[in-house]
Amino acid sequence: MPKLGVNIDHVATLRQARGGMEPDPLEAALMCEKAGCDSIVAHLREDRRHINDKDVIGLRKRIKTKFNLEMSMNPEIVDIALKIGPDQITLVPERRQELTTEGGLSVVRYEKKLFRIAASFNNKGIDVSVFIDPDKSEIRSAIYIGIGIIEIHTGNYSLALDKKSRAKEFKKIKDSAEYAMSKGLIVNAGHGLNYTNVKQIANIKGINELNIGHSIISKAVFAGLKNAVTEMKKLIN
């Protein structure tokens, strides 16, 4: 059974909308752990648009499962991550203008840089994963530079509008996952997974972990709204 990593960036996005203290992503992370998730994912972006440095320190202190810090190759972020020491980092591409991570990191293009960064984390006992498109040349490059974990980008599969294109995107993910597993890599997947499309990906034999954020936090709004209104009404009365 694949494990579940919950991405809590979206809770921090809501907090930032008011610039105050709530909702607190750390409280959300602890609740996700209580509910049985296997890891917590947070992306410390260069522009700190949601998760900030204080969040990351708090998460490191309090998370009991696995803390997977998503990050770019930016030297400032690399330094912070090395100091904080998450259990795992997941390297992603990052553009300031994007709303969310838009695609996989090109390991082929940044082989040398990634090799150096991965070595600095591995030397501290921190696992390194790369978020990549379902593409065998990227997998071969990851193997070449000694990266043992990949996260396959499921965004195009999630966004596919019709059955035919979804099947095509699914095949790319399945073939890539099986290829990577046959070469001994740990294979995770994520981006855009939701309550209707997750099963097919979870059924890929041997897949280790699925990282999901937006759909879980969206669902949580409606799962909790009734109680929130009832409690407020009680106080007013």
H-type helices in 155-204, by residue range? Answer: 155-159, 163-182, 198-202
Catalytic residue check, 191:
yes
Sorted by sequence, the CB contacts under 8 Å of residue 75 that are 6+ apart come out as: none
- Mask for 155-194, x = binds ligand PXP (CB under 6 A): -----------------------------------xxxx-
Q: Does 131 bind ligand PXP (CB under 6 A)?
A: yes
- Mask for 55-94, x = binds ligand PXP (CB under 6 A): ---------------x-------------------x-x--
Catalytic residue check, 70:
yes
Whether omega before 86 lies within 30 degrees of 0, making that bond cis, reads no
Contact 39, 70 (CB under 8 A): no
User: How many residues in the shown chain lie near ligand PXP by CB under 6 A?
Assistant: 19
Tokens 């070449």: give the residue: 144
The distance of closest approach from Cβ of residue 68 to ligand PXP in the complex, given in angstroms and rounded to an integer, is 9
With CB atoms as reference, the residue minimizing the distance to ligand PXP is 213
Contact 37, 4 (CB under 8 A): yes
CA distance 161 to 82: 40
- Which of 72, 101, 176, 197 contacts ligand PXP by CB under 6 A? 101
CA distance 69 to 169: 27
Q: Does 50 bind ligand PXP (CB under 6 A)?
A: no
Active site residues: 43, 70, 191
Residues that bind ligand PXP (CB under 6 A): 7, 9, 43, 70, 90, 92, 100-101, 131, 151, 190-193, 211-215
